[in-house]
Amino acid sequence: MKKYILSLLALSLLCLGTIANAKSIRIGTEGAYPPWNNLNSAGELEGAEIDFGNEACKRMGVECEWVTQDWDGIIPALLNGKYDIIIAGMSITEERKEKVNFTNGYMTDGARFAVLKGSGLENLTVAGMDKVNLNGAGGKEQAAIGQLIAAMNGNTVCVQSATIHQNFLDKHMAGAVKVKLYPGVDEANLDLIAGRCDAILADVGSTMDYMGTDVGANVAFTGPTFSGGVFGDGVGGAVRKEDSDILEMWNKVIAEMITDGSLSEITKVHFGRDISM
Amino acid sequence: MNFELIYNNFFIIISGLDETLILVIVSLSLGFFISIPFALARVSSIKILSKSVYFYVFVIRGTPLLVQIYLIYYGLGTIEYVRESFLWIVLKDPFYCGVLALVLNTVAYTTEIFRGGIQSVTIGQIESCKSLGMSRIAMYRKIILPCAFRQALPGYGNEMILMVKSTSLVSLITIMEMTGLARNIMYKNYAPVEAFLAAGSIYLFINFLVVQFIRFLEWKYNPHLRINS
Amino acid sequence: MLRFDLLIFGDAGWGDELIISSLMTILVSLSAMGLGVFVSVFVTWAKISSNIFLKLLANFYTTIIRGIPELLVIYLIFFGGSASIMYVAKIFGYYGYIELNAFTMGTISIGLISAAYSTEVFRGAYSIVNKGQAEAAKSLGLSKFNTFLKVLAPQILKHALPGLGNVWQITLKDTALVSVTGLVEIMRQSRIASNVSHSPLTFFLSAALLYLVLTTFSSKIFNKLEDYSNKNNVTAL
């Protein structure tokens, strides 16, 4: 009786789902993270990673199907089988490696604080360092962070939740600044303009894109550009641990696109500079 | 099922309990007191009064609370005029935006509950009041409102439980109450069941207490319904 | 501030996307409500049965769902969903991946919530229907099944209609909470549009308007249904 009911349940659930076709790859992306990936008013996805993904699929000879998913559910949806790979500006971190495998990095961008012009927090410099790499962080890097904490003490910093930027603030600046979490970067940007945030922490590309819009004209960078350490090692595609074949396919095509320079061309179009790895 | 994780999560989520409770208590209290004149307006014979309140109730009850919360927090934040006015002192803080949205929502529902209570007072009782020469105000104060509250208790109890659950939506405008903390745990540990169990059980417990409180009020204010009276 | 130009149809505006998302809202609400009513019939039956274990299980289900915020229920089903479904499939030797698309996840999450509320409505409606009706049917020789189908069920439905109308409104508005599943209904589409165009006011007001249209329309339909079911009511003259 129990087995009968369970089998009915399983059958009905199987009918509700479909199994992925081997000849097409479903790619999960956020669709709210310009210029990496975003939806436009025509309802289409556009951005550096969209171009990259489409080109990669062409080279691999498979059909690409893009699926959008909110950032906070993006890894669970991969594990749920909603798509086969995540290409959404996701940085390669040890924490995430526990749940998914990453392809080799294909793009990399630093993280930087941004504030409103005239807020008094612009143009913060720390120990004369433009770039702070937290890999193997030594005294110099710690001092830089310490200076930043002193300058921003008591302020509110806004970040997108479940990101490396949130991890950085939780690990290095907890207690010194008030952290506000948002489901997407644009909500954080809205609150920066509204004055609810003193600063935001996001990657350089995304903030630069925002500064290019008319509402974001008043935003300016401050402090050094961070990379490494808790910020991970570049942006890679995330796949389920058992899909090693998908992983290999993508690593091959990524290596190909790096060597022949097409990846760097794509990034130059969308970011205005070469951020390929 | 990682029990150690549930145990640890429990303490993280409990730290958001005070935020949840403050939201519930402030919103319910404000909502309760604002609903009384609104309900009176709804039953008044001044058409424009009852129609305006009805319109308000209609709009609030016809749209999801989440949309209302987003409109107040993000929508109003983009209006320059609001940002430069004195309203910004209140609207800048997500807590007050959350309270505003919750109060607007609960007033709409509570007004209808109170209206039902007021209208349930039988015509016989009203006639008795008039025959005793009571003024309108006395009639309301001594007979109608107390009767109305008693009638409204079950419905209002339900509204209280809905309020406790509604506070979870303000986690989407950066308020770190229990649901927000639970969601954070889900992102970091990918352990949804443990986080859900920890948070869910606390909400259940609060609602259990609310149900007991309402039962007590019903017992206290319905002495004529008690078995041994 | 209010950008009406963004609401036009076609490629340059979000109007068409918003209308399509409204259709999605209606679709997922209908399927969730359908699932909810279907499940609640069983749960109500369990609640009114004399089997203590069934009663306990049913009460446990409705207490939990009605006592915990909907957002948490949706998170549990979404974040934890595949694990349980995979577990069930593994019992039958299926080790591949079952894709649970956004629509399914949305339907199941909202449907389970809706079922808990529908159960309370049906339970209340059942208790209003006069026990004498069942006895009269029995004395007329109607089988238990026929009694239920021809005598009890229509009356239960009639009394349940206002409550079900309420559950429908709740279900319709709860669909705004399923963004995490990635389903593109009104709320998610408005958020996407608001993020791209940086004008939340325009799109959240549009969302509110769309929901208002849907709820108003629904309540008019339910009022007509109630009038139809009440037309043969016996009233003292």
pLDDT at B122: 77
- Give the number of other CB atoms < 10 A from CB of residue A61: 8
Q: Does B77 touch chain A (CB under 8 A)?
A: yes
Q: Does A38 touch chain C (CB under 8 A)?
A: yes
For chain B, what is the mean pLDDT? Answer: 88
pLDDT at A166 over 80: yes
> Which chain C residues are Cβ-neighbours of A73 within 8 angstroms?
78-79, 180-182
Torsion (CA) B174, B180, B186, B188 in degrees, nearest 10? 50
Predicted confidence band of residue A14 (pLDDT cuts 50, 70, 90): very low
Q: Does C229 touch chain B (CB under 8 A)?
A: no
Determine whether the interchain pair C99/A18 forms a contact, defined as Cβ–Cβ distance below 8 Å: yes
Determine whether the interchain pair B204/C70 forms a contact, defined as Cβ–Cβ distance below 8 Å: no
Judge residue A112's burial from the number of C-beta atoms within 10 Å of its C-beta, 0-12 exposed, 13-18 middle, 19 or more buried.
Answer: buried
pLDDT at A19: 42
pTM summary value: 0.88
Of residues B92, B188, B192, nearest to A196 (C-beta): B92
Of residues C14, C85, C99, nearest to A20 (C-beta): C99
Determine whether the interchain pair B187/A162 forms a contact, defined as Cβ–Cβ distance below 8 Å: yes
The percent of residues in chain C predicted with pLDDT above 70, rounded, is 89
What is the mean pLDDT of the segment spanning C24-45?
A: 93
Strand partners, A45: A39
CA distances from A33 to A50, A206, A257, B169, C30 (A): 11, 7, 23, 24, 32
Closest alpha carbon to A158 in A193, A131, A134: A193
The percent of residues in chain C predicted with pLDDT above 90, rounded, is 39
> Which chain A residues are Cβ-neighbours of B183 within 8 angstroms?
72, 161
Q: Does C74 touch chain B (CB under 8 A)?
A: no
- Give the number of other CB atoms < 10 A from CB of residue A244: 11
ipTM of this model? 0.88
The percent of residues in chain A predicted with pLDDT above 70, rounded, is 92
Minimal CA separation from A1 to chain C, in Å: 15
Minimal CA separation from A95 to chain B, in Å: 8
pLDDT at C85: 61
Question: What pLDDT digit, counting tens, does each position of B154-177 carry?
Answer: 889 999 999 999 999 999 999 999
Q: Does B171 touch chain C (CB under 8 A)?
A: yes
Determine whether the interchain pair A82/C81 forms a contact, defined as Cβ–Cβ distance below 8 Å: no
Q: Are strands A219-227 and A63-68 parallel, antiparallel or unpaired?
A: unpaired
pLDDT at A16 over 70: no
pLDDT at B23 over 90: yes
Question: What pLDDT digit, counting tens, does each position of B59-112 carry?
Answer: 999 999 999 999 999 998 888 888 888 888 888 899 999 999 999 999 999 999
Determine whether the interchain pair B64/C211 forms a contact, defined as Cβ–Cβ distance below 8 Å: yes
Predicted confidence band of residue C79 (pLDDT cuts 50, 70, 90): confident
